[in-house]
Amino acid sequence: MKDFKEFLLRGNLVDMAVGIVIGLAFAALITALVADLLTPLIAAIAGKRDFSGLTFTINKSHFLYGAFLNALIAFITIAAVVYSFVVKPVNALFDRRRTEPAVAATTRPCPECLSEIPHAARRCAFCTASVAATSGGSM
């Protein structure tokens, strides 16, 4: 029971649960925005009363494509908001913090054939030319 309690109180599990709850609340908010404001506005411009009432029937089967349009607009809106306010800022932050570590060169060009050879080499493995060994710095 102690291990289970430690698992539940672990920081990243609680953070994930909070993120899921906030994400669900945000999705409900965007769905309400789309269903109550955006689609009636689009429908008014298009001359229809509301998207949710758009249906058609084939062989006594009702297809509610208006509800699908509402869900599609909600998805696109959520995706645009998440991209604009989460993905782009996080990518910009990581780009600013990213630094390339200086890597010391472990090879140098052979003076005869210009192939890359180790600094400590006294003979080129490619053209067999004799070269002076270096201590690791540039030539």
121 with 113: CB under 8 angstroms? no
The chain-wide mean pLDDT, for the chain, equals 82
Does residue 78 register a pLDDT over 50? yes
Token pair in block for residue 13:
């599990």
Going by C-beta distance under 8 Å and a sequence separation of 6 or more, which residues neighbour residue 77? 30, 33, 34, 38
What's the CATH number of domain 2-97, 1.10.3720.10, 1.10.10.10, 3.40.50.2300, 1.10.1200.120?
1.10.1200.120
Does residue 92 register a pLDDT over 70? yes
**Rounded CA gap, 22 and 28, in Å?**
10
Cα-Cα-Cα-Cα torsion 117, 121, 125, 129, nearest 10 degrees, comes to 100
11 with 47: CB under 8 angstroms? no
More confident: 40 or 56: 56
Q: Once rounded to an integer, what is the mean pLDDT over residues 104-125?
A: 87
Q: Once rounded to an integer, what is the mean pLDDT over residues 83-93?
A: 87
**Rounded CA gap, 91 and 104, in Å?**
28
- The pLDDT of residue 98: 76
- The pLDDT of residue 21: 92
100 pLDDT band, cuts 50/70/90, is low
Domain segments of the chain as ranges:
2-97, 103-139
pTM for this structure? 0.52
Q: Once rounded to an integer, what is the mean pLDDT over residues 50-65?
A: 85
